[in-house]
A and B are shown apart, each in its own frame.
Chain A
Amino acid sequence: MKRILAMLALALAASATQAQTIRIGEMNSYKTFPAFLEPYRKGWQLALEEVNAAGGVNGRKLEVISRDDNGNPGDAVRVAEELASREQAVLLMGGFASNVGLALSDFAKQRRIVFLAAEPLTDKLVWEGGNRYTFRLRASTYMQTAMLIPEAARARKKRWALVYPNYEYGQAAAAAFKKLLKARQPDVEFVAEQAPPLGKLDAGAVVQALAAAKPDAVFSALFGPDLAKFVREGNTRGLFRGREVVNLLAGEPEYLDPLKDETPEGWIVTGYPWADIASPEHRRFLDAYRARWNDYPRLGSVVGYTSLMSVAAALKKADDTDTEKLVAAFKGLPVGTPFGRITYRALDHQSTMGAFVGRLAKKDGRGVMVDWVYREGIAYLPPDDEVRRLRPAD
């Protein structure tokens, strides 16, 4: 019986186009984090169309089988299994929250299939919890925090207050910020630390408590609705007046755009100033995205687009869909992206994709980033020795 079914499946799969397409499994928490992931989906769809319009990879078209992972690791692992076994995906990509990303990474290790983590930021994904089959595109929590340190140190503020969502991302960001700033500026003091639950920020109380510590500056890792609440409450209560504020991710259009005329001017943030990036590779991406979707790209769009382009590049380099060949191809793989050329490091499978650091400003009632620079990821990674020490051997 099993054999008959298997033969039936083979016969179905044997139709000409099917045999030639390369199937990529993609899963993400589309319904749990729609603000970031709807643009993300549009990003990889655009990339897929571009790759296939250019004739595919080594003559074979790409096909993406996409699934919602319901925002929890248990379901995500099952979806990954479906993509890997029933859909015969040659590799997996996606992931948003860190716990789901780590679960998928562990799945990849167990099942020996390549997993490109698109969005999860946790440092563990490539360091303490790194494995042979997992690669990660985005600059990690540590890297993005490190990118903010030069500006934070330049402000020469002695008393810092911290606020971050109470889970691994926020905790890691706060820990990295304290460690790196202390190294640059030994006399720094951290006078208050507020860790509200993700999505349940009690803005009035938190703003008040931060102000009560009389800080000179504030470091925040808030994003999404928490960030919006924090900004409005802080504006009303005058928390930000005369204080330097550093906020991870707040320049990403997903989180900046809802602030509209509430946008706090002068904040130092990481983000994506999509309208002002004049590089030819970004210009081309921007035009293509707008033409395709009649909308401007968010950072999620870039992540989605670049993830698929990375996968295409790896498949092209490997010229095979065998997992070990793909692992070899990904190691040291250069990819052209809207942000310029990035490389997947052989050392820890982290890409060198950077982020934009700048200050927030208001323009026509909307938030924008000004005085921004692009910080290459490679410059903000710890020394290779330290990475080797953190990362278990394959």
Chain B
Amino acid sequence: MTFADLLVQLVNGLAQASTLFLLASGLSLIFGVTRVVNFAHGSFTMVGLYAAIAMAERLGGAAGFWLALPLAALAVGVLGAVAEMLILRRVYQAPELFQLLATFGLVLVLKDAALWLWGPEDIFGPRAPGLSGSVELAGLAVPAWDLFLIALAPLLLLALEALLARTRWGVLVRAATEDRHMVGALGVNQAWLFTGVFALGSALAGLAGALQMPREPASLGLDLVTVTDAFVVVVIGGLGSLRGAFLAAALVGVVKTLCFALGGVEMGGTTFNFSKLTLVVEFLLMALTLVLRPWGLAGRAPAAAQESPALVEWVRVPGVRFAAGAGAALLAAAALPLLADEYAVVLATDIAVFALFAVSLHFLMGPGGMAPFGHAAFFGVGAYAAGLLAQAAWPMAAALLAAPLAAAAAGLAVGWFCVRLSGVYLAMLTLAFAQIAWSVAFQWDDVTGGSNGLVGIRPAPWAADKAHFYWLVLVFGGTALALLWRVLQSPFGFALRAARDNPRRAQALGIDARRVQWLAFPAAAAAAGLAGALFAYSKGSLSPEAMGIARSVDGLVMVLLGGLHTLAGPVAGAALFTWLQDEIIRRTDYWRLILGAVILLLVIAFPRGVVGGLRHAWKERS
């Protein structure tokens, strides 16, 4: 690699960084003010690109191209404002993270809407009139558009900072980022502030998409690809810090580019291909950053996070009535194979497996007050442990006992790092670890089967029958569930809730809050690992999706759908989500749209989750 190559690669990295910054800036603003973890941010980017191409083609010519950029951003801004007013505004009062469920519904709806509007085929936009060619730099060609992006990003940063520093609206936004209760106290119309911020953030997402017009085609997979990148950049930079996001975007962009630039490198007799590292490099960077700097590059420790007690509801310790109810439900579930057809049993097996997964996640999210976005890591470790042991001819029962242990070990390691952080930082660090684990499974062909995964994971002969296996899942899953619930009633469970409710108070009572939270990880991970192992045996095959982001997100959706502050919530959420998806998917081609709409309706109707909402309604009545 010559010096000129390196120089131009740095320019490439900065062009990539500019795109990342555009993506991240909007997300950062929205999160800073509204605390909404906006999964739909990538969808807004996707819509921005589709809209820009459609407008550029409709308007035609050079003017059409340049007009399409702001118009697309504006259109997406309006879309964001509408979504905020129709949906999110209704659920700001809900427990933390609940809004995430609404944005998940939006992702599904927007994806199918884009398919309906623009069709399945990728659409490549025009080159930028006036900037279509390349510029020579150190003897090498660099696209003029890349240089335009590199110039645009810092200008946008300055413009946004000026907006925040110089205008009254900007001052309010900054104040709300620091302390959003204060703004309400100042008599500012909080609703309109939030709507405005959401519109601006969405418009920035739309602009980020529109600016990709000369670089990449609009495609329906763009939403998920971009949203994770945006989150990674925001978190590395430090929440709420635009400069941090700028720095983080540069870091990620340049490091990624350097990985490609290095390519295959001879090391100790073997060639290591750095380009393969790009599968996970942003997550490695995020993990490293968060371990060294718990609040990102430029973020500050939340002033009051350690001080202020969590806003939680009272949870009655489940007593005999709860145990009797759970037992009755388990018995009823066990009767299913006698009443229904084979497929119902298979579906119920999936539901039971996911219910266990959701309960294990809820253990950390509810009583633990931590929200791991990468909980699928433990599911996956358990699944792969079982799969590999099955291939090594271990008996199923032994594999089902070993898998949770493997997952618990992973939980112990991941938890040790994670409990040093809090809030979204903790959430994203678990995601980083999950993605690292995923990439190992994805790449380690000799052991994990790589992207294809493992096949031929067969239950023991006595459990091969679908009904028998279902009962096996009920027994193992039920036992794990009972153990987790039992732990919640134990002194440890109380200490865990204490560490969430009021960490300072807990410390003064001699409770090592961080240690309690740490030890919650292996407990939850073991249960998730058991769910993963049961999953592997029930499917017969296994691939890295078992620990992918989608699996983690499904878990979050199940927990929130059921209700964060109820014990039965995650079970109900898992059942409802899995059943709904199964029903809708076979009735319509546009199943994502319908499923998304149903989730949005449930979000509005049950801001405490379905079980939480029903319980609340019952209490109000009686």
Q: Indicate yes or no for A touching B, C-beta below 8 A.
A: yes
Q: What is the interface of chain A, defined by CB distance below 8 A to chain B?
A: 1-2, 5, 9, 30-32, 34-35, 37-38, 67-68, 70, 72-74, 77-78, 81-82, 85-86, 98-99, 102-103, 105-107, 110, 122, 124, 129, 166-168, 171, 192-197, 199-200, 202-206, 208-209, 211-213, 224-225, 228-229, 232-233, 236-238, 254, 257-260, 262
Q: In the complex where A2-B338, A78-B346 touch, is A197 in contact with B452 (Cβ < 8 A)? A: no
Chain A residue contacts of B542, Cβ below 8 A: 73
Binds A, one of B9-17, B65-73, B80-88, B232-240: B9-17
Alpha-carbon distance between A375 and B540 when the two chains are bound, in angstroms: 36
The 5 tightest CB contacts between A and B, nearest first, are A34-B120, A167-B451, A205-B260, A86-B343, A204-B12
Cα A124 to Cα B456 in complex, Å, equals: 14
B 168-186 binary contact with A (CB < 8 Å = 1; else 0): 0000000000000000000
With A and B bound together, what is the CA distance between A171 and B445 in angstroms?
11
- Provide the B415-457 mask, 1 if CB < 8 A to any CB of A, else 0: 0000000000000000000000000001001000011110110
The residue from B142, B273, B340, B543 contacting A195, defined by CB atoms under 8 A apart: B273
Cα A192 to Cα B425 with chains together (Å): 38
Q: Least Cβ distance of B329 to chain A in Å? A: 19
Q: Are A107 and B540 in contact (CB under 8 A)?
A: yes
With A and B bound together, what is the CA distance between A209 and B262 in angstroms? Answer: 8
| A179 CB to nearest chain B CB (Å) | 16
Q: B124 near A: Cβ within 8 Å?
A: yes
In the assembled complex, the CB of B134 is this many whole angstroms from the nearest CB of chain A, namely 5
Which residues from 258 to 308 on chain B have a C-beta closer than 8 Å to any C-beta of chain A?
A: 260-261, 263-264, 273, 275-276, 278-279
Chain B residue with the shortest CB-CB distance to A298: B121
Contact status of A212 and B275, CB under 8 A, knowing A35-B121, A99-B451, A236-B134:
no
B556-599 interface mask toward A, CB cutoff 8 Å, 1 = contact, 0 = none? 00000000000000000000000001100110010110000000
State in angstroms the CA–CA spacing of A78 and B275 once bound together. 35
CA distance A119 to B260 in the complex (A): 30
Q: List 21 A-B contacts (CB under 8 A).
A: A2-B339, A5-B341, A31-B111, A68-B585, A78-B350, A81-B342, A86-B342, A99-B452, A103-B541, A106-B455, A106-B456, A124-B452, A168-B450, A193-B275, A202-B257, A204-B15, A225-B222, A229-B217, A232-B124, A232-B215, A262-B124
A224-B273 contact given A67-B585, A67-B586, A237-B142, CB 8 Å threshold: no
Residue of A99, A171, A238 most packed against chain B (CB within 10 A): A99
Cα distance, A319 to B541, chains bound together (Å): 32
In the complex, what distance in Å separates the CA atom of A122 from the CA atom of B445?
14
Q: Contact check: which of B124, B143, B539, B585 meets A233 at CB < 8 Å?
A: B143
A-side contacts of B540, CB under 8 Å: 77, 103, 106-107, 110
B541 near A204: Cβ-Cβ < 8 Å: no
- Residues from chain B with a CB closer than 8 A to the CB of A5 are 339-341
B109-165 CB contacts (< 8 Å) to partner A: 111-112, 115, 119-124, 127, 133-134, 140-143, 146
Distance in angstroms between the alpha carbons of A194 and B344 in the assembled complex: 46
CA distance A244 to B342 in the complex (A): 56
Q: Which residues of B contact A1 (CB under 8 A)?
A: 338-339
CB within 8 Å of A: which B206-239 residues: 214-217, 219-222, 225
Q: Is the CB of A237 within 8 A of B141?
A: yes
The answer on a CB contact under 8 Å between B541 and A224 is: no
Q: Is A212 in contact with B350, judged by CB distance below 8 angstroms?
A: no
Most chain A CB atoms below 10 A, which of B115, B455, B456: B455
| Bound: A85/B343 CA distance, A | 6
Is there contact, CB below 8 Å, between B215 and A229?
yes
B134 pairs with A258, CB closer than 8 A: no
Let me know if A81 and B346 touch, CB within 8 A.
Answer: yes
Q: Is B526 an interface residue, CB under 8 A from the partner?
A: no
A53–B133 Cα distance when bound, in Å, is 54
Q: Check A208–B140 contact: CB distance below 8 A.
A: yes
Chain A residue nearest in CB terms to B585: A68
Which residue on B lies nearest to A197, using beta carbons? B279
CB-CB nearest in chain B for A32: B221
Asked if B167 lies at the interface with its beta carbon under 8 angstroms from chain A, I say no
In-complex Cβ contact of B275 among A35, A85, A194 (8 A): A194
Residue among A32, A81, A262 having the largest count of chain B Cβ atoms under 10 Å: A81
Give the residue among B279, B539, B589, B592 with the most A Cβ atoms within 10 A: B539
Q: Pick the residue among A30, A98, A106, A209 that contacts B261 (CB under 8 A).
A: A209
In the complex, the answer to whether B347 meets A78 with C-beta atoms within 8 Å is yes
Nearest to A98 among chain B residues (CB) is: B452
Task: Tell me if B1 counts as interface (CB < 8 A to partner A).
Answer: yes
Interface status of B535 (Cβ within 8 A of chain A): yes
Tell whether, in the assembled complex, residue B261 and residue A254 are in contact, meaning their CB atoms are under 8 Å apart: no
Could you count the A-B residue pairs with CB atoms below 8 Å apart for me: how many are there?
220
A254→B586 CA distance, assembly (Å):
26
Give complex CA distance A70, B273 in Å: 32
Contacts of A233 in B (CB 8 A): 143, 215
Chain B residues at the A interface, C-beta cutoff of 8 Å: 1-2, 5, 8-9, 12-13, 15-16, 111-112, 115, 119-124, 127, 133-134, 140-143, 146, 214-217, 219-222, 225, 256-257, 260-261, 263-264, 273, 275-276, 278-279, 338-344, 346-347, 350, 442, 445, 450-453, 455-456, 458, 535, 539-546, 548, 550, 581-582, 585-586, 589, 591-592
Contact for A206 among B123, B275, B346, CB less than 8 A = B275
Q: Are A224 and B143 in touch, CB under 8 angstroms?
A: no
Do the beta carbons of B122 and A228 come within 8 Å of each other? yes
Q: How far is the CA of A32 from the CA of B223 in the complex (A)?
A: 12
What chain B residues lie within 8 Å of A34 (beta carbons)? 115, 120, 220
If A202-B278, A228-B217, A237-B143 touch, whether A70 touches B453 (CB-CB below 8 Å) is no
- Least CB distance, B231 to chain A, in whole angstroms: 15
Indicate if the CB atoms of A229 and B339 lie closer than 8 Å: no
- When distances are taken between beta carbons in the complex, the residues of chain A under 8 Å from B450 are 167-168, 171
Closest residue of chain A to B282 (Cβ to Cβ) is A200
Among A38, A82, A257, point to the contact of B343 (Cβ < 8 A): A82
Interface contact A196-B541, CB-CB below 8 Å:
no
Report the minimal beta-carbon distance from B341 to chain A, rounded to whole angstroms: 6
Q: Check B275 against A257 for contact (C-beta < 8 Å).
A: no
Contact B589 A30 (CB under 8 A): yes
Measured CB to CB, the nearest residue on chain A to B112 is A31
Cα distance, A206 to B16, chains bound together (Å): 12
Q: Which residues of A contact B546 (CB under 8 A)?
A: 74
A228 touches B124 (CB 8 A): yes
Q: What residues of A have a CB within 8 angstroms of the CB of B585 in the complex?
A: 67-68, 70
Most chain B beta carbons < 10 A, residue from A166, A233, A238: A166
Query: Would you give the shortest CB distance from B597 to chain A, in whole angstroms?
Result: 15
Measured between beta carbons, the chain A residues less than 8 angstroms from B220 are 34
- Tell me if A205 and B16 are in contact (CB < 8 A): yes
Q: Which of B120, B442, B544 contacts A35 (CB 8 A)?
A: B120
Please indicate the chain B residues that have their CB under 8 angstroms from the CB of A237 in the complex.
134, 140-143
List of A residues within 8 angstroms of B543 by Cβ: 72-73, 99, 102-103
Contact B124 A205 (CB under 8 A): no
